[in-house]
Amino acid sequence: MSSPFSPWNPWHGCAKISPGCRHCYVYRQDEMYGSEIGSEVARKTQAFDMPVKRGRDKKYKIPSGSLVYTCFTSDFLLEDADEWRPDCWAMIRERSDCMFFFFTKRIQRFMECVPDDWGDGYDNVMVGCTAENQAMADQRLPIFLDVPIKHKSIIVAPMLGRMDISAYLGDAIDEVSCGGESGRGARPLDYEWVLNLREQCVAARVSFNFHQTGAKLIKDGRQYYIRRCFQHSQAKKAGIDYRVGKNGRPLKGEVEIPFEG
């Protein structure tokens, strides 16, 4: 049975730093809701201490065993959040009964952002390193492989071109998750790139997840427009996810991750 999941966005807003940021969904959402503060300005949210908040019954509001999607409206390793992050680590430590998952385009900052007792990594922290094209993969993934993290995923989203990441795949990587771009002006995703990436994962026996198609999917040379509400389900319908269990045998469909592109 899969774990319950909870979002936790301790801060909101982020500075764009790479090609994958061009149509960042944080900016798109802020524009849609007419936010008066610029999306590039990070600010603490009211949910900052959500993991340790308790209800009237004195129980934590986030149930034990949850998968906590952390900082999905920013980047957990953002420079502007350096002052706030130590409190987040303390909450993550306190909630060792939950698994926290964040992804980042700033993996080069990882070692300066971890707490003193990080050691080989906390058991309850999963980190996804985003690599949206070959250049970003070659820049970030060697660093990602080097840093001490117990659970590592590679996030290829929004996938912007054909990529070869086979040199970075191996036992250290739990999963590769791939998806296209959503929103106005979305750049197209060629299904052939996705299948090729999947082949690299199968060859390396690393789990692969096609989490969403994006708004424009090219298949057999033809471009299809896919409405936002179907982008996740259409990717799942493709039936190309590949799961490798702890005993090395492929499993089918486990955790589904609500990524945006």
Phi first, then psi, for residue 146 (nearest 5°) are: -85, -25
- Choosing from 6, 10, 14, 50, the residue that interacts with ligand SF4 (CB under 6 A) is 14
Length of the chain: 261
Provide the minimum distance between the beta carbon of 228 and ligand SF4 in the complex, in angstroms, as a whole number: 17
Provide the minimum distance between the beta carbon of 96 and ligand SF4 in the complex, in angstroms, as a whole number: 27
Quick check: 132 and 18 in contact, CB under 8 A? Answer: yes
Coil, helix or strand at residue 223: strand
Residues 6 or more apart in contact with residue 137 via CB below 8 angstroms: 131, 156, 163, 165, 168
Cβ proximity to ligand SF4, 100 vs 242, nearer residue: 100
Ramachandran area for residue 154 (φ above 0: left; ψ -120 to 50: alpha; else beta):
beta
Instruction: Give residue 70's identity as a one-letter amino acid code.
Output: T
Peptide bond into 158 cis (omega under 30): yes
Provide the minimum distance between the beta carbon of 23 and ligand SF4 in the complex, in angstroms, as a whole number: 9
Number of residues that bind ligand SF4 (CB under 6 A): 10
Phi first, then psi, for residue 149 (nearest 5°) are: -140, 135
74 counts as binding ligand SF4 under rule CB under 6 A: yes
26 counts as binding ligand SF4 under rule CB under 6 A: yes
21 counts as binding ligand SF4 under rule CB under 6 A: yes
Cβ proximity to ligand SF4, 13 vs 188, nearer residue: 13
How far apart are the C-alpha atoms of 18 and 50, rounded to whole Å?
A: 30
How far apart are the C-alpha atoms of 144 and 106, rounded to whole Å?
A: 10
Cβ proximity to ligand SF4, 181 vs 241, nearer residue: 181
Contact range with ligand SF4 by CB under 6 A, out of 15-23, 107-115, 179-187, 221-229: 15-23
23 counts as binding ligand SF4 under rule CB under 6 A: no
Coil, helix or strand at residue 236: helix
Provide the minimum distance between the beta carbon of 173 and ligand SF4 in the complex, in angstroms, as a whole number: 20
Cβ-based neighbour number of residue 7 at 10 Å: 14
- Choosing from 30, 75, 181, 190, the residue that interacts with ligand SF4 (CB under 6 A) is 75
| Per-residue contact flags (x/-) with ligand SF4 for residues 140 to 179, judged by CB under 6 A | ----------------------------------------
Cβ proximity to ligand SF4, 16 vs 219, nearer residue: 16
Q: Which residues bind ligand SF4 (CB under 6 A)?
A: 14, 16-17, 20-21, 24, 26, 74-75, 105
